[in-house]
Structure 1
């Protein structure tokens, strides 16, 4: 960093950004000469920068010589929206982790598979040891059971045809009838069905476009004391549901 603590700035980058901003303000596109006048950038430099921006996909040159924004700008915009959505959802998960002292998970059921998309944990609240693939063990986890509850009966049967329930611990429920036709609960719990010593609770995230769940895990010995965790878990799931609704669903974060 130069003297005085001022950051080093790259002038050519600044000029390219000014050109992009100027093009964005012209709905029908604009010429290199007009851009040079508007930005105060010398015309030869303007041409060089415009050629580079066109080559990289940030601008497109029309047949009449005018420049408009390119597809790469739209891709950046989409990515920025997705990052903003992920940041807001993760903030809710971090708050829940800190409030409940439990690892927090976000998962979806997509194209016939259980997909865990985010985990928020810490050294004090470690995530469950995923010794068996969650895609194959939906019958034994609160995450999987909650996601499957958002499917039709036929879809659940199809899932278990592809992933037959297996005993993972002495507490794992494997009877198809119990898994398919069991009672629905606002919060799903598993106690040592997936991993001995670990309990998990999951709540559905409604309106996400695909079955989605928010879940927590913690030591099974604390399950009785943590029975009240269902309320803050549902509250956080509802908050994430509202975030997805505004953004158009969890796919907006991809």
Structure 2
């Protein structure tokens, strides 16, 4: 295994490919051993051979992409945990992809528990701040398509009552304006969501608080906006997770 890894590292350092003899020297292996390992790596898809030269294969690239994806996920998790501790509220990261609401990460704690998903988040986007924030970033046709699949329904006495009322509300939301909902998804809970600029993908970061702390919601939201600005000033949060 270690010898095979040394060969992969040797190939990775040769952008324009290299023959077996060169790779054997680079990896410090006997030529017969290098030939055997190279054939195996080609067969498994970790390397490819063209005109006597060896290059990294699709399997190696998939491993690399998987590692980069895990690193991005770790970065998002760390950022959310930092904001949870700084603000004192659970923090959510969600995106709208392929017509669906996806809550990708949640950072909460015993002292700042997340809202219980008692009704499917994907089907109740009209009722929670995350869904409303994501829908507000879509065009009119995409919004109506979503509501045809997941029409407005009463979740609590405070939930918006019909599709047209929701669409009018979404139209009034400013481009980078936070979205606030009070007990529309869960009684006893208030939430706010902040739109995130991420290319063509709608994304949001959100927080929730118990209703008796409702006076904290807007100050905490503004604090989160400041924290996001500080982070994005130095490194980007990738949404391809």
Q: With structure 1 as the length reference, what TM-score do the two structures score?
A: 0.84
Q: Deviation at 1:221?
A: 1.3
Q: Which moved more, 1:53-62 or 1:26-35?
A: 26-35
State the match for 2:63 in structure 1. Answer: 76
Of 185, 191, 197, the match for 1:200 = 191
- 2:152 maps to 1:161: no
- The CA deviation string for residues 34-88 of structure 1, in whole angstroms up to 9 with x for no partner, is 22233321222212221222222111123x3322211122222222222222222
State the match for 2:28 in structure 1. Answer: 40
Q: Deviation at 1:121?
A: 1.5
CA distance in 2, matches of 1:122, 1:232: 19
Q: Which moved more, 1:102-111 or 1:34-43?
A: 34-43
State the match for 1:3 in structure 2. Answer: none
Q: Give the unaligned 5+ runs of structure 1.
A: 1-12
Alignment of 1:123-142 (within 5 A): 123-142=110-129
Q: Deviation at 1:193?
A: 0.9
Q: Deviation at 1:119?
A: 1.2
Q: With structure 2 as the length reference, what TM-score do the two structures score?
A: 0.88
State the match for 1:20 in structure 2. Answer: 8
Distance 1:187 1:28, change over 3 A: closer
Distance 1:79 1:44, change over 3 A: same
- The CA deviation string for residues 76-111 of structure 1, in whole angstroms up to 9 with x for no partner, is 222222222222222221111111221111111122
What CA RMSD, in Å, does the superposition of the two structures yield over aligned residues? 2.2
Q: Deviation at 1:234?
A: 1.9
**Contact 1:103/1:119 (<8 A) preserved:** yes
Q: Deviation at 1:19?
A: 1.2
Distance 1:137 1:69, change over 3 A: same
Q: Which moved more, 1:229-238 or 1:88-97?
A: 229-238
State the match for 2:217 in structure 1. Answer: 226
Distance 1:198 1:51, change over 3 A: same
CA distance in 1, matches of 2:141, 2:233: 29
